[in-house]
Structure 1
Amino acid sequence: MPQNPYEVRIYKWRPMGDYRYDDPGHPLHTTHSLKYKGFRPYIVAKGIPAVDIQYSFKLDDIGQATVTIPLDGPEEWQPELKKLSGIEPYHYCLGIVRKSEEWDDRQDGYLVWSGIIWNMRMDMSDRTLQMHARDFMSFYETRNHSGVLRREEQIDLIRGQMWGENVNWGINTEYNQLVNTGRKYEWNAQPGEWREIAHDFYDMADDLNGFFLLMDSARANEGQPDEYLRCWLKNTRDRTPQWATGRDGKPLPALRDRVNCEVPEIYFDGTQIATTSYAIGRSGNLPIRRRKDNTLLRREVPVRDVVGRFDRIGDAKTLDSRAETQLAFGNKGIRVPRVITYPSAYQDPQTLNPNLGVKINLEANTGFIDIKEPFVVTENRVRVEGDGTDRCELTLVQESLFKKGKWE
């Protein structure tokens, strides 16, 4: 393995159109205006070494990264570091590149994480600059929508939002990799209510009848002066976890305690256990309440309710699915193992991205309980050591939580 396979690249938003054509009445408005063409992040500096790199992926949430780079260093670093003299949050984006290994044929490395820089901290005593970034879905936390939208195909709601965002000074998020799920959905907002787009996307996905949704990214024109970052959304057809696979398409080896990982703790959570599940939605000003019961569990433990409020859902079948989802999570106590992989045990940490909907076998003998079953990855926090080796800290939950059970 190279001494350090990671490098940091910095990008800056570049307008793809001309603001002088933003007037809707201009004949070039839909072809050349900044409003329609939006922005893309283009390369500013590359090959920057890092003192510290941490990045993460989280199920139904926005990934984060924290990178610390030196402000001083050997002479060969100075030309690239000087390019960052005017760096500002939100104006710039971050890319983390992992250089190619023998198993990988991309000679210029590959992008493992990218996103928008939101915060920075300069330490004048240590002469370092720390940058905190969140993936490109964070852009859609700042974008809102309203009104009532109904579609026979729920993914059409995402497609429609993405089209509208891209032609309004957006970031050119691609959405041609989205696939239909065959299920309908509706957003039901009160007059004057505004909702975060990112929140509603993940809320739609997080359901037994939902799907896994990933904001992905890659470099275009790799290694060229006009290199830039692409980002796109893709999803699965349903919410069924699949076996985690490597870049070669083969299943990843099981997580084995004291072989390729350590299991420092297992958390047992019973706060979600429920014998009765209510999902409360709203159609206009009228509440809609749906109820599902786990009569089998009610014979084992005292009655316990869980209530979910979904103000933007006015469809009874969708609310039934939400109630079923709550029962699935409440059917038994949730086991949450925390697993830390050995250095570079998995050659590509990105293959354990929870938003791909991945599961992996876990084998651990604690002396108290034996574990040998598949778990779903819900969070992957990657820490890069000084020598470039990386360790994944994984949060897992049992696969049964993603399946509809027998309640009666």
Structure 2
Amino acid sequence: MPDFEVLQVEAKTGDVVGSLPVTGIQYGEALNAAGSATVGMPLDAADPDTLVPGRTALVVLRNGEPDWGGPVWTATADLVQGTLTLNASGWHSYYAGRVMHDGYKGAKDQALLLTDWYRACNDEGGIDTDTSQLTTTGRVRTRAWTKYELKTVADAISELAEEDGGFFLRYETYWRAPGRIGNRVLKGSGKGFPFALTHRVSCDVSDVRYDASALATRVYAVGADNGNGTRLVGIADNQLDIPVKQVVTTFSDVKSTTVLVDKARAIAAAGRAPVAIPSLTLYPGLFTPSDFTPGDSGAVQIDSGYVRVLDDFVVTERKTDIDVNGTEMTSLSLANKELFVSGD
């Protein structure tokens, strides 16, 4: 059984304040999003002078190595039960509170755009996100916002990741030095599963949700106002054997038709087929949580009545629960791999 520990950390510096006496841990990561963690602890074991939402971060150690980290944003004190519940989000959540107050304009490789944005935040009192693992891909993208738009960095990053020719984005928490935690941003296409996940062999599939709401024979990505009552539009089509179904999405701060076409293509890629979304729990002891990070993909096999699945899926969310006895349970949410195959 793995050993778990939760560290209280200064979000700005990464300095470890101490170890928390937790009574339960739940944490997880989400594809191109922040993920979250919830930790319970005795009320009288918390120091109100140092454990402060917005200032404090939590780091979950698994066998001494960081497995998750992020800032604490809310805390609930239950005076009847004598418990304190800490709610944290992954490092990406911090960038929802950073804006491009001077505006931004650039036409660069995706990785260089990201580096610019993270560096600007790091230089002005940020959380010192390491960008050294970002590598160029040759995919040049154009971005332009005025200082009056106050574009949030989190939105800029997520939109870049999710458009046509985008990437999977995640954060890694690591030991920067003894007693000091760091966080780094990674992008890529994910890795393969250790082996196929089979219902009632290596996992239990609790449910499979089917969703055709995103199907689209034509996608319109509507951009900024040209100033004369017209708007820029990017269009992408799917050849599907269904009744005509059109999807319109507005990106009011996008001022480039090329960018809008990229966004339309990404939406069209997600609308090529109905989505099958399995949720499953891994059998304990067969895997470690890091075997399945958001963006990883592999085969899933289910043969149970109406549900007959043998296909490749991408992990969109991973959650790990540790109870008071230290028992670890990891659950995954997945989506068809075809949804992530863009026009590029």
Q: Give the TM-score normalised by the residue count of structure 1.
A: 0.78
**Which of 186, 189, 205 is matched with 1:234 structurally?**
186
Cα distance, 1:178–1:283 mapped onto 2, change above 3 Å: farther
On the 8 A contact 1:256/1:362 being kept in 2, the answer is: yes
Which sections of structure 2, spanning at least 5 residues, go unmatched? none
Q: Counterpart of 2:58 in structure 1: which amino acid?
A: L
Q: Which has the larger radius of gyration?
A: 1
**Which of 133, 137, 160 is matched with 2:88 structurally?**
133
Shift of 1:368: 2.0
Q: What is the correspondence of 1:343-358 to structure 2 with a 5 Å cutoff?
A: 343-347=284-288, 349-354=289-294, 357-358=295-296
Cα distance, 1:42–1:316 mapped onto 2, change above 3 Å: same
| SS of residue matched to 2:131 | strand
Mapped to 2, the partners of 1:110 and 1:241 lie a distance apart of 21
* Corresponding residue for residue 27 of structure 1: none
Mapped to 2, the partners of 1:210 and 1:131 lie a distance apart of 33
* Corresponding residue for residue 7 of structure 2: 9
* Corresponding residue for residue 39 of structure 2: 67
1:217 is the counterpart of 2:173? yes
* Corresponding residue for residue 175 of structure 1: 131
On the 8 A contact 2:197/2:300 being kept in 1, the answer is: yes
* Corresponding residue for residue 195 of structure 1: 151
Cα distance, 1:164–1:82 mapped onto 2, change above 3 Å: closer
* Corresponding residue for residue 149 of structure 1: 105
Percent identity of equivalent pairs: 27
Which sections of structure 1, spanning at least 5 residues, go unmatched? 14-38, 73-80, 100-108, 245-251
| SS of residue matched to 1:176 | coil
**Which of 386, 391, 398 is matched with 2:336 structurally?**
398
Mapped to 2, the partners of 1:384 and 1:265 lie a distance apart of 22
* Corresponding residue for residue 254 of structure 1: 196
Higher deviation after alignment, 272-281 or 186-195: 186-195
**Which of 55, 58, 69 is matched with 1:91 structurally?**
55
Higher deviation after alignment, 130-139 or 264-273: 130-139
Higher deviation after alignment, 384-393 or 283-292: 283-292
* Corresponding residue for residue 233 of structure 2: 289
* Corresponding residue for residue 305 of structure 1: 246
On the 8 A contact 1:45/1:84 being kept in 2, the answer is: no
Mapped to 2, the partners of 1:344 and 1:311 lie a distance apart of 48
1:367 is the counterpart of 2:305? yes
Higher deviation after alignment, 52-61 or 389-398: 389-398
Mapped to 2, the partners of 1:383 and 1:362 lie a distance apart of 22
Offset from partner CA, 1:250-294 (integer Å, 9 cap, x none): xx1321111221111111111111111112223754621122222
Higher deviation after alignment, 227-236 or 316-325: 316-325
* Corresponding residue for residue 114 of structure 1: 69
| SS of residue matched to 1:68 | strand
Q: Aligned residue pairs: how many?
A: 341
| SS of residue matched to 2:291 | helix
On the 8 A contact 2:104/2:147 being kept in 1, the answer is: no
1:279 is the counterpart of 2:221? yes
Mapped to 2, the partners of 1:401 and 1:82 lie a distance apart of 44
